[in-house]
Amino acid sequence: MSKLLRRILKISIAPAVVMIAGKLLGIIIANIVYKLDFFIDNQIQGIFSIQLYYTDSTITLLVNSVSNLIMVLALAIPTLYFIVKTSIYQSAFENPRTIVKITRLNIMKWITKDDTSFLSIFIWSCFLLIASLVTIAQVIQGTCYGWVGIIVGVLALFGIWGTVKTFEVEIDKIYPREEKLYR
Amino acid sequence: MSETKKNLLPQVFEPLAIVAILGLFLIPTLTVINLSPITQENKQINVLGATSSPHSIDMEILNENDEIFVSDTLRKKRDGEYVYSAEVGPRKEEKEYSKPAFRITNRSSTRQTLVVDGYADSTSPSNFSLKIDGGWYVLRDGSKEMYKREIVLEPNATKTVYISTYSDSNILFKEVFTISISTQ
C-alpha cells in the first residue's frame, strides 16, 4: 500500500470523528440548554433504521441549526488553525518581522516544527466543505436557519481559500517563482 | 515465489484502502444527514406494529350549512372521547329535520364499539336521533327520555352520522342538543 494512501487514511479518521461528534454534541447541547423532549423512531426504510424526531417543527429547526453550527465550527477551528499555522511558518522564513511578532505573542513553537502538511489541511477542508454543503442543503430545504447557512458558507470559503493558498506555498517550495528568486 | 507474493500484497490492499478512504468520507456524511432531526407526530404502536391505543377512532365534523341545525361543534375531550353540540332552531310540528353532522372512522384493525348518548338543554318534547346507514338511534324521545346507544364500527370503516329531530308540536325557541361519543 502506498505511503500516500496510508497517510490519507490516518489523517481522515480525526475529522470524520470530529464531524459526527460535533453533530451529536450539538444535538445534546441544544436538548440540555433548551430542555427539550426528543423522540426516537425505528424506520425500516432508508440506510439507517433509527430516526431522531421532535413533534414541533420550530424545535426541529432550532436543534438542527444549533447542531449544524457546532459541527461546522468543530471542523472549521482546527482547519483554520492549521492554515494560519502553516502561513505563519512559511512567512517566518521569508520575513524577519514575522519572527519578532511570533516571539512577542509567545507562539514560537508554531515555527519550530513543520508538523502540518498540505495533505492534513486538504482533508480537513474537504470535511469542512462536506459539512457546509449538508448544512446549506438543509437551509435550502428549510430545516436550518438562514443565518447558520451564511456563517457556514463564509467558513467554507475561508477554508477553500486557505487550502488554495497553502497549495501555492507548497508549489513554490518545489517550483519557486522567478520574482522570489531574483528579488 | 515468495518475492511475487510480497509484490502482490500492496496491489491487493490498495483498492481496499481507497474504499476505506471513501468510506471515511461517506459514513460521517450519511451519519450527519441521519442525525438531523425531523418533525413527526408520535405514533402509538407497540413492538408488533399494531396500534396499542384501544381508542383509535377519528371524528370529523362536516360543517354543512343548515337552517335548523346551526353552530355545530365537535370537541375531542380525550383519546376516544368526543362531544358534538348543535344549536337547533325553531321548527314546525310533525316535520322531520336532519343534517349530516360528522364522520367517524375506525383507524384500528379491530372492531370498535362506540357509546353514544345525548341531552337537550330544554324541556321541549323534541325527538333527537342519529341516523347511520339507514338505521335509527333514538337518543331522546318525545317523553324526554334519554337513551344510551351503541354503534359498532368495523376495522377501517367510515360512517357518516346524520343528526335528526322531530316534534309533534311547533318548537318556537332555540335549544342546544349535545351528543357524547366515547369508545367502549
pLDDT digits (tens, 9 = 90+) for A158-169: 999 999 988 888
Does B24 contact A57 at a Cβ distance shorter than 8 Å?
A: no
Within a 13 Å sphere around the CA of B176, how many CA atoms are in the beta-carbon half? 8
The SS3 assignment for A78 reads helix
Cβ neighbours for B108, distance < 8 A, ≥ 6 positions apart: B51, B53, B54, B56, B57, B155
Name the residue in chain A with its Cα closest to that of B43: A41
Distance from C-alpha of A131 to C-alpha of A144, rounded to nearest angstrom: 13
CA–CA distance, A122 with A132 (Å, rounded to integer): 15
| Total CB pairs under 8 A between chain A and B | 93
Closest CA to A27 of A69, A66, A78: A66
Q: Give pLDDT, residue B22.
A: 92
Cβ contact A8–B21 (<8 Å): yes
- Of the candidates B14, B35, B41, which has its C-beta nearest A52's C-beta? B35
Task: Give the model's pLDDT for residue A128.
Answer: 96
Q: Is the pLDDT of residue A125 over 80?
A: yes
Q: Which residues of A touch B26 (CB under 8 A)?
A: none
* Residue-by-residue DSSP string for A14-63: HHHHHHHHHHHHHHHHHHHHTT---EEEE--SSS-SEEEEESSHHHHHHH
What pLDDT digit, counting tens, does each position of A84-102 carry? 888 888 777 777 787 888 7
What pTM does this model have?
0.60
Can you list the residues of chain B whose pLDDT is less than 50? 1
Nearest to A39 by CA among B32, B48, B37: B37
Pull the grid cell for residue B68.
335548523
* A63 has a pLDDT exceeding 80: yes
Write out chain B residues lying below 8 Å of A63, CB-based: 37
ipTM: 0.86
| Residue A157 scores a pLDDT above 60 | yes
